[in-house]
Structures are given as C-alpha cells and as structure tokens.
Amino acid sequence: MAGIAEDGEEAVIMFKSFSDKPKVILMDHRMPEKTGIEATKEILQIDKKVKIIFVSADISIKEEANSIGAFGFWDKPFINEHLVDEVERALECYNSA
C-alpha cells in the first residue's frame, strides 16, 4: 500500500484515515498548510512505530527532525538507490520492533 499527500495537513489526515497504518513515510518539510516537522510530530503521537524519513532541500531542520524522532534525514539531491536502501532499512527496523 502506498499513498501521496499534497501537503503536511493532507498527510496527517490520510494517516489518520488508514486503518492499516503505513510503516514508512517519506516526509518533505517546506509544504503548504503544515510543515514536515509539524506533520511528523502529529503522526508520531498517533503511532510511535512508524518510520519517518525526511527528504528535504532544507538542511537547516536536520537536527530538529532527528530530535523529534525522525528515522533519517536525506537532503536533496540524493541518489534514488540510496534512498531505496534507507527505506528498506526502515522497514527492517519497523518489522523487528
């Protein structure tokens, strides 16, 4: 199962609506309505297990993302294969928890 949200607000709404919660989320930061950091805080309050990987061109929020419980932070531009590896690692972590 996979989904795409247009912005942080939609991401939180979608997350809440899924009965089967997603295991990994690729989260941008600078989005309309709600930022990635705000959305991450809300989502992690709902489900602490979900692995949120930040994918953002805004490197200034890296420390904050890590401090609020993000699984990882990837700044743009990145190589797709590396991100795929990171997603697989996140899934492994989720399943072993």
As measured in angstroms, the least distance from the Cβ of 32 to other proteins is 5
DSSP 4-44: --SSHHHHHHHHHH-SS--SEEEE-SS-SSS-HHHHHHHHH
CA distances from 4 to 13, 25, 26, 31, 64 (A): 12, 10, 9, 13, 24
CB atoms within 10 A of CB 30: 11
- Which of 5, 11, 25, 31 forms a contact with other proteins (CB under 8 A)? 31
- Which of 80, 95, 96, 97 forms a contact with other proteins (CB under 8 A)? 80
As measured in angstroms, the least distance from the Cβ of 58 to other proteins is 5
Of 13-21, 45-53, 77-85, 88-96, the window that binds other proteins (rule: CB under 8 A) is 77-85
The reply on whether position 19 binds other proteins by CB under 8 A is no
The reply on whether position 57 binds other proteins by CB under 8 A is yes
